[in-house]
Chain A
Amino acid sequence: DAKTTQPNSMESNEEEPVHLPCNHSTISGTDYIHWYRQLPSQGPEYVIHGLTSNVNNRMASLAIAEDRKSSTLILHRATLRDAAVYYCILNRLGSGGGADGLTFGKGTHLIIQP
């Protein structure tokens, strides 16, 4: 299975942009890049996903490198409520998981300073 590599933790200030990196050098052509986040005492929640082109939604933006070997989740203006563990996950053909489920790593623990 293609794996992802993320920093263990990152710190940012409130109301500033946050760039969360993810390396996935063994990504295959059919792998979508998904981001989920997990707030304290909650289950993970979907943030964004993409295949090749950059993507924007109300929560975040996803910037995908041209060779697709890395991507960056961008929170444009972090708030204290964005403090969470952020997971970068590869999944083929964009399915919710199917037989393999979604493979979560340890993610990046994002700390937001007021």
Chain B
Amino acid sequence: DTGVSQDPRHKITKRGQNVTFRCDPISEHNRLYWYRQTLGQGPEFLTYFQNEAQLEKSRLLSDRFSAERPKGSFSTLEIQRTEQGDSAMYLCASSLELVGADRAELFFGSGTQLSVL
């Protein structure tokens, strides 16, 4: 399978615990995005990387949220001191952005469903 993979698929945690999710993008893709989706809503953009550089992080929901993409390949999203309101689906997407190209479609993973008890 050469699509975007996310791990774990499901995570149940207790309030106050830290959680980390992993995303492996399509191998040649230079951009990686994180989204959050709550029930009945469309995905909400959180942050994105161009290779290893995090170019936008102001949309992260709070300073408890952080993301890394240390070698420009896989990425991790960490939520510290989880709260019940963090319960959601966390989606990762990747794309190949080329200078001068007219578009780059996003390829999404199946997401990590987080439940905070």
| Interfacial residues, chain A to chain B (CB-CB below 8 A) | 32, 34, 36, 41-46, 49, 51, 85, 87, 93-107
* Residue on B nearest A44 in the bound complex, by CB: B108
B33 to A95, Cβ gap below 8 A? Answer: no
Is B85's beta carbon under 8 Å from chain A?
Answer: no
Nearest-CB distance from A47 to chain B (Å)? 9
Q: Which residues of A contact B105 (CB under 8 A)?
A: 34, 46, 49, 96
Q: Which residues of A contact B43 (CB under 8 A)?
A: 44, 102, 104
Instruction: Known contacts A43-B110, A104-B42; decide if A97 and B103 are in contact (CB<8 Å).
Output: no
Stretch at the interface among B11-19, B61-69, B70-78, B89-97: B89-97
* Residue on B nearest A91 in the bound complex, by CB: B103
Which 3 residue pairs are nearest across A and B when measured between Cβ atoms?
A: A101-B45, A43-B108, A104-B42
Interface of A is mostly: loop
A–B Cβ pairs within 8 angstroms, 28 of them: A32-B103, A34-B105, A42-B108, A42-B111, A43-B4, A44-B91, A44-B93, A44-B106, A45-B107, A49-B105, A51-B102, A93-B102, A94-B101, A96-B31, A96-B93, A97-B95, A98-B55, A98-B56, A99-B56, A101-B33, A101-B45, A101-B46, A101-B48, A104-B35, A104-B43, A104-B44, A105-B42, A107-B42
* Residue on A nearest B29 in the bound complex, by CB: A96
Residue among A85, A101, A104 with the highest chain B CB neighbour number at 10 A: A101
A96 to B42, Cβ gap below 8 A? Answer: no
A94 to B110, Cβ gap below 8 A? Answer: no
Q: Give the total number of A-B pairs whose CB atoms are below 8 A apart.
A: 82
Q: Which residues of B contact A98 (CB under 8 A)?
A: 48, 55-56, 97
CA distance A36 to B93 in the complex (A): 13
CA distance A88 to B2 in the complex (A): 26
Q: Which residues of A contact B111 (CB under 8 A)?
A: 42-43
- Give the residue of A34, A36, A106 whose beta carbon is less than 8 angstroms from that of B41: A106
A97 to B33, Cβ gap below 8 A? Answer: yes
* Residue on B nearest A103 in the bound complex, by CB: B45
Is B81's beta carbon under 8 Å from chain A?
Answer: no
